[in-house]
Amino acid sequence: MSVTIHLHKSQRHLADGKASVDVAGRTVNACLADLIQQYPDLESQLFENSRRLKKNVEIYLNLESAYPDELAKPVRDGDEIHITLILSGG
C-alpha cells in the first residue's frame, strides 16, 4: 500500500530536499499524518491545528481538486496527492 505525495517547492527543504514522498494510509488525512511522521517539520506548513489544513494549502488527489473535506477523502494504492499553495500576487 503506497501513495505518493508531491510537495510544494517551498516545503521540500523540510523533507531532505525531496520533491515527493511515499506514504501509507487509507485517507488523505492518514497519508498526511504518515508524511508528518517522516518529516515532522512539515506539520506547521500544512496544518493550522491538528484538524484543520492551513488556509493557503490546496490538496489535489490524482490531479482532481479534493476540496472540500480534503482530509476525509479515501485513497487507494498508487494514488497521487499534490500539495499546492493558493497564490494572490499579481
Partner 1 sequence: MLTHREKERYDRQLRIPEVGKEGQGRLKQAKIIIAGAGGLGAPAAFYLAAAGVGHIRIVDDDRVDRSNLNRQLLHWEEDIGREKTESAKEKLGRLNPDVIIETVSSRIDEDTVAAMVDRCDGIIDALDNFSGRYVLNRSAVTLDIPFFHGAVQGFEGRATTIIPGQTACLECLPRGEQTHAANPIIGITPGMIGCIQASECIKYLLRQGRLLENRLVIFDGLEMTWKEFNIKPRPECSVCGKKNRKRHHGDNTR
Q: Which residues bind partner 1 (CB under 8 A)?
A: 9, 53, 55-58, 60, 63-65, 67-68, 82, 84-90
Give least dist CB 72 to partner 1, A.
15
Minimum CB separation of residue 76 from partner 1 in Å reads 18
The strand pair at 64-65 and 80-85 is best described as unpaired
Q: Cell for 54?
A: 492551513
Q: Which residue has the cell 510544494?
A: 8
Q: Respond yes or no on whether the N-terminal peptide bond of residue 74 is cis (omega within 30° of 0).
A: no
CB nearer partner 1, residue 35 or residue 82 = 82
